[in-house]
Structure 1
Amino acid sequence: MSVVVLFEQAGGPEVLQFRDIAVPAPGPGEVRIQVKAIGLNRAESMWRSDAYVEPVRFPARLGYESAGIVEAVGAHVSHVRVGDRVSTVPAFSLNDYGMYGELVLAPAHAVVAIPEGLTFEEATAIWNPYITPFGAFAERQRLQPGEVVLVSAASSSVGLGAIEMVNMLGGVPIALTRTSGKRDALLAAGARHVIATAEQDLVAEVMRLTQGKGADFAFEAVGGAQFPTLLAAMAHGGTVFVYGALAEGVTPLPLLDVIPREPVIRGYNLFGTTTDPVRQAAAVRFISEGLASGALKPRIAKSFAFADIVEAHRYLEKNEHIGRVVVTV
């Protein structure tokens, strides 16, 4: 038997429940993992609220990223063995698998060896935070040295990963955050500049920092009412990678500004990379090299015990943390 987390209706963190279930032997192409740590993603709070990119089938599991020890492998699995230290890459539907549990099944294509030198907790803070910006800036549209990138929700684990990835590729990351309270931490994390969007004029600051040109790219996780302002801060023909929708309400699109400025607004998610074996392997290799060199440094904001998973989700949704929220099992 294993204790897992599930929910039977959409709602706040309080809908999460612990259940004892029998975890079956892994089927062909599956791996059974004794979980040691779980990394929390904002996508999972959206999933719990049934506000994600696909409808939830109840009762529902959740969790993309875990790290632990291989306990059993199914047929046709040869890249990992019993006893290996592994972590899971977001490469599956949460309607099919969930990593919140003491013992879990994972699809073999989503299970990778933990890069050397990382703890289980750190291993839950590398794939979503780094593959997301890797796919945008190292795979889809290679960032060129000196190009300026606006990183929204910059204190999130993906935001911090984007700052490090942009630096690794020779770009100039400008961190966007609501208030100046996180300025010092974001500068310490590698941001070249920080703009507090609730306190400063975003467009004026970007234009000042870029000598009137505007930003070449934006890595956008928020949307909502400030999206037109973000577009106004872009260089002519600049690209906005929209990978999240944290803001509530409608996101306006000012067409009379879009037409003359010719921005590229591109919806983006990491699954195109993670579900393709060749592209996933390239991402894992690139990120592992960055970790080994010290260019990429996973950041843990706070750790919670597994029994405190509800409180961990409440903390996640306060948006006060800098880095990855981790649950230890």
Structure 2
Amino acid sequence: MARLVQFDRTGGPEVLTLREVEVGEPGAGEVRMRVDAIGLNRAEIMFREGGYFYAPDFPSLLGYEAVGVVEAVGAGVDGLAEGDPVAVVPQFLQTDYGTYGDHVIVPASAVVPRSAEVDPVRAAAVWMAYITAYGPLVESGRVRPGDHVLITAASSSVGLAAVQIARHVGAVPIATTRGSGKKQRLLDAGAAHVIVTDEEDLPARIKEITGGEGVRLAFDPVAGPGVEVLAQGIAPGGFLVVYGALDARPTPLPNAQSFPALTSSTYTLFEITTDPERLRRAVAFVDAGLGSGAFDPVVDRTFDLVDIVEAHRYMAANEQVGKIVVTVTHEGAAT
């Protein structure tokens, strides 16, 4: 038997229930793993609430990330064996698999080796954040040494990963935050500049920081009408990449009548994780950064699996700086 978090209807954190279920054996192309830690993501809140880009099937699992140890492998799985320390990268639909549990089955294609240099809690804060930032900043080749990069909602785990990756490739990260309470923490986390959008004129501050040129790339999870303001701070020929939908209002397409010419696009990490070769490059890049110390996942707070409702409430409050991680206690085993 396994303990899995499920929900039978969309709604607030209170719909989440920890249940004992039969986890079974992995099928062809699957892996069963003992979970030691789970990284929480904003996408899971949206999925639970019914506002994600696909709807849950009830009773629904949820969760994209986890770290732990392989317990069993299904037919046709090569390169993984019982006892291997591993991590799960977001690659699947939560209607098919989920990581909120103490023993879970996931597709082998979504499993990567876990470095012994990174403990389970920090390892659970890696893959959603760093692969999401890696795509536009590195894989597409859009950011070059010396470029200014605007990172909005920068106190999120993805935002902080983007700050570290920008610095690693020689770019200049400019972080935004709505209130001043997180400003110093963002500077301490490596942001070269922080713009407090409730207090400062964003396009004006960008032009001041960049000497009037604007940023090479704006990396934004918010979307909505605010992209028009972001576009005013992008250099001619620059890029606006929208990777989320925190603002549910329609997102206008910046046009040449109001802004310098720029390329506007959407992005999800599935573009990387569902392509084996691109995923291989991403994993190599992130592992190298972790090994050198250039990348240091920021964990804001941990919760136990039995407190998953409180963990979701905390995430919804939007007070964190970095990743929220859920740890899993196994009777008679160290985590």
Structure 2 counterpart of 1:153 = 153
Partner Cα distance (1:190, 1:252) in 2 = 31
**SS of residue paired to 1:213:** coil
**SS of residue paired to 1:185:** helix
Partner Cα distance (2:253, 2:241) in 1 = 15
Partner Cα distance (1:25, 1:3) in 2 = 15
**SS of residue paired to 1:161:** helix
Structure 2 counterpart of 1:246 = 246
Q: Which residues of 2 match residues 8-157 of structure 1 at below 5 A? A: 8-157=8-157
Give 1:143 shift.
Answer: 1.5
The amino acid of 1:84's aligned partner reads D
Give 1:255 shift.
Answer: 3.7
Partner Cα distance (2:62, 2:43) in 1 = 10
The amino acid of 2:301's aligned partner reads K
Give 1:212 shift.
Answer: 0.9
Give 1:8 shift.
Answer: 1.1
**SS of residue paired to 2:312:** helix
Structure 1 counterpart of 2:192 = 192
Going from structure 1 to structure 2, the CA distance change for 1:269 and 1:254 (only over 3 Å counts) comes to closer
**SS of residue paired to 1:261:** coil
TM-score, normalised via structure 2 length: 0.95
**SS of residue paired to 2:225:** helix
Structure 1 counterpart of 2:302 = 303
5+ unaligned residues in a row in structure 1: which ranges? none
The amino acid of 2:325's aligned partner reads V
Partner Cα distance (1:118, 1:128) in 2 = 16
Partner Cα distance (1:142, 1:254) in 2 = 19
Partner Cα distance (1:102, 1:110) in 2 = 17
Partner Cα distance (1:211, 1:280) in 2 = 36
Give 1:307 shift.
Answer: 0.7
Give 1:256 shift.
Answer: 5.9
Within the alignment, does 1:261 sit opposite 2:260 as a pair?
Answer: yes
Going from structure 1 to structure 2, the CA distance change for 1:179 and 1:257 (only over 3 Å counts) comes to farther
Within the alignment, does 1:270 sit opposite 2:269 as a pair?
Answer: yes
Give 1:224 shift.
Answer: 2.4
The one-character-per-residue Cα deviations of 1:233-269 (angstroms, maximum 9, x if unpaired) are: 11112101100111232334454645x5222111100
Give 1:55 shift.
Answer: 2.3
The one-character-per-residue Cα deviations of 1:292-320 (angstroms, maximum 9, x if unpaired) are: 11110011100001111011001011111
8 Å Cα contact 2:253-2:264 kept in structure 1 = no
Partner Cα distance (1:240, 1:276) in 2 = 23
Structure 2 counterpart of 1:231 = 231
Partner Cα distance (1:133, 1:164) in 2 = 9
The one-character-per-residue Cα deviations of 1:34-62 (angstroms, maximum 9, x if unpaired) are: 11110000011011111112222222110
8 Å Cα contact 2:214-2:233 kept in structure 1 = yes
The amino acid of 1:37's aligned partner reads A
Structure 1 counterpart of 2:290 = 291
Structure 1 counterpart of 2:331 = none
The amino acid of 1:270's aligned partner reads L
State which drifts further: 9-18 or 152-161: 9-18
Within the alignment, does 1:318 sit opposite 2:317 as a pair?
Answer: yes
Partner Cα distance (1:254, 1:185) in 2 = 32
Identity %: 48
Give 1:140 shift.
Answer: 1.4
Partner Cα distance (2:252, 2:263) in 1 = 15
Structure 2 counterpart of 1:167 = 167
The amino acid of 2:305's aligned partner reads F
Aligned length: 328
5+ unaligned residues in a row in structure 2: which ranges? 329-335
TM-score, normalised via structure 1 length: 0.97
The amino acid of 2:85's aligned partner reads R
Structure 2 counterpart of 1:328 = 327
Give 1:134 shift.
Answer: 0.9
Partner Cα distance (1:40, 1:190) in 2 = 23
The amino acid of 1:204's aligned partner reads A
Partner Cα distance (2:187, 2:256) in 1 = 35
Give 1:96 shift.
Answer: 0.7
The one-character-per-residue Cα deviations of 1:174-209 (angstroms, maximum 9, x if unpaired) are: 001101111111111110000001111101100100
The amino acid of 1:85's aligned partner reads P
Partner Cα distance (1:28, 1:72) in 2 = 11
The amino acid of 1:126's aligned partner reads V
**SS of residue paired to 1:3:** strand
Partner Cα distance (1:6, 1:237) in 2 = 46
Please report the RMSD computed on the Cα atoms of aligned residues, expressed in angstroms.
1.2
Partner Cα distance (1:253, 1:107) in 2 = 37
The amino acid of 2:159's aligned partner reads G
8 Å Cα contact 2:143-2:216 kept in structure 1 = no
